Amino acid sequence: MGTRIETAQTLSDLFQPVQLGAYQLANRIVMAPLTRSRADEHGIPGALIAEHYAQRASAGLIISEGVNISPSARGYALTPGIYDDAQIEGWRKVTEGVHARGGRIFPQLWHVGRISHCSLQPGGVLPVAPSAIRPEATSYTASGFQPCPTPRVLGTAEIPQIVDQYRRAAQNALAAGFDGVEIHAANGYLIEQFLRDSTNRRTDAYGGSRENRARFLLEVVEAVAGVCGGARTGIRLSPGSPVNGAALDSDPDATYGYVVEQLNAFDLAYIHTIEGVTQGPRELADGVNFQHLRRSFKGLYMANNGYDRELALNARQHDLADLISFGRLYIANPDLVERLRIGARLNVPDRATFFGGGAAGYNDYPALTPA
């Protein structure tokens, strides 16, 4: 066992400290966002969620599950928000628990757009989107997964209001003790719905050209970085993932390349890129070059999707990514950093407990014993 530890440490800096924006992280391993639907009906994170993240504080950085920026941003039942005082107080207990164990944590600011259901919207209204295109997708409701309806088109005058919701969410995140924030611009949710020409048919200043389709994303980044500073702001992108009914952009390399070049003006801490299909194959879609995006970006490049120990060590050995984020492996392995470091066996997650419920399949996975 000692030889395996020495080999991992000798060949890779994956387990060594790294500077990320304003912070020195303990290692290059990141806990990726994972929706688990454990908040209460008011979107307040409780003791269960606080314990969950505290258990995983050995990660260099934790990125929380998606956090709704407003009541209408919600697309999944029992997901937490960060738009009222009770939610802020709930998150403060989460950040205190992570900090007490030496960790860093960002929330992922989230608006689902059309990936929602009327039963989750205030007053039972339709969810909103850049265009009235019904997604071939489902939303997790109190009655289980339900098909998403055709959304209502956002009026041009409404868009600055949503940008302001992102700004207030960033302010609330800092008030709750978070170390920074990640903007969720991936997986076919609202920001990406504006960005892709497959989901944006607008003819106003937010549609048509690549520059217009990227306008909403860049306005959100400007608002959030204006609150947190670029060194405490990251963004998640998924150029090659068609999940949530969002077909790929007709020219993803050019569209996301343009976005990354524009992001450099904000001096962001990182881009968090889903390589391949979210929770699916890592094979690159035609027209997507992740290393081109990495070379174009001035900050750190965080890679995600299907990484295991071997892939992560290889990525650092060949300088393919600065940080590696792990999602599914963190579900069942609270001490994932140590398990990866020594090459230990991993716990197997219980899929039946992924969404909703209590501590079972959430906080009861065992850590390694001293032996």
Nearest to 14 by CA among 321, 361, 288, 233: 321
Residue type, 290: F
Catalytic residue, chosen from 53, 140, 166, 189, is 189
Tokens of 191: 């920001």
Sign (positive or negative) of CA dihedral 228, 229, 231, 236: positive
Work out the angle between the directed axes of helices 47-55 and 85-100 (0-180°, nearest 10): 30
What is the sign, positive or negative, of the torsion defined by CA atoms of 11, 60, 303, 292?
negative
The amino acid present at 45, given as its one-letter code, is P
Are the C-beta atoms of 271 and 239 separated by less than 8 Å? no
For 246, other C-beta atoms within 10 Å of its C-beta total 26
Dihedral sign, CA of 6, 10, 12, 17? positive
> Does the annotation mark 189 as catalytic?
yes
What residues pair up with 128 in beta bridges, in sequence order? Answer: 152
Catalytic residues: 189
